[in-house]
Amino acid sequence: MENWTMTTTDDKGNKALGGGMSKRQMPQQQITNFIDVKSVDEYSSKGEKLGGKVVVPKTGVPGMGYYSVCVDTENNSFGIFESNENDK
């Protein structure tokens, strides 16, 4: 899958926000915003305890880390991402 990584810097050249974008896999695919977390496992569990659901379980992205896609109690989807450059 094609994926483009984006990074930004602040006015002093320090690393700031980052993200990525990939081509839609199907025409009805929606945009999913991802939030950087320390642990996908920990935050997936917290989300479920608060009434949300995990719709894509923890998945590895080689050389980048892990992600999961969740929905909140109002059925809004969002992703969580855990950086781990050692993931294979």
Q: What distance in Å separates the CA atoms of residue 82 and residue 36, rounded to the nearest whole number? A: 6
| pLDDT (0 to 100) of residue 4 | 80
- Its pTM stands at 0.75
| pLDDT (0 to 100) of residue 1 | 64
Q: What is the pLDDT along the chain (88 residues), one digit of tens a residue?
A: 677 888 889 999 998 877 778 888 888 888 888 888 999 999 999 999 999 999 999 999 888 899 999 999 999 999 999 988 775 5
Asked if 3 and 22 touch (Cβ cutoff 8 Å), the reply is: yes
Count of Cβ atoms closer than 10 Å to residue 77 Cβ: 16
Q: What distance in Å separates the CA atoms of residue 79 and residue 54, rounded to the nearest whole number? A: 9
Q: Which amino acid is at 7?
A: T
